[in-house]
Amino acid sequence: MQMYIGEGFAGNGVNAAHINIMIGPRDGVVGQAFAASLASPSQGHCPFIVVIKPNVAAKPMTLYVNKAEIRSELHGRATWGASQAAVAKAVAEALLANLFPPEAEDDWCIITANWVNIDCDDIDEVYRNNYRACTTALHAAMAKTPKRDQLTHALTQLSNPFFTPKA
């Protein structure tokens, strides 16, 4: 079974981006999850195929899943527009840079779970942060990071954007 999992976070405040990613063969567990997610939208969450432009999907075929329910016109444009465009660019560039094995182009798929804050206020910053977060997640997945030594070091600086424990 081949499945690569990665995570990327970029930016600060309401325009920050957080992306979780799964990459793997269409005929494996990632492909099964891709099909199930695409066929099972829920209230406020409608997975969709990422496109570079209309009628040109990113490759490997990529499914965008929004973590936050769309709450406003700007939030919708930030999610379906800026964030999707950033993911499309990051995935296509990774393919063209040979980050994935050759068979990935046509035989693998990607699922991204994307956080775009409902209070975002700068669509261009949302784009930049989602591009950086997706690029980070793709590279982390394919490199199978973090490694043990990275985990050991990270535990000395435990924190996330919402909480830092007191010493």
Clarify whether 139 is annotated catalytic: no
Please report the DSSP string for 119-132 in residue order: T---HHHHHHHHHH
> Which stretches within 13-78 are classed as H helix?
29-38, 73-76
Q: Which one is catalytic: 18, 45, 139, 153? A: 18
- Residues 147 and 47: their CA atoms lie apart, in Å, by 31
Q: Are strands 51-53 and 4-10 parallel, antiparallel or unpaired?
A: unpaired
Q: Is 147 helix (H, G, I), strand (E, B) or coil?
A: coil
Residue positions annotated with a catalytic role: 18
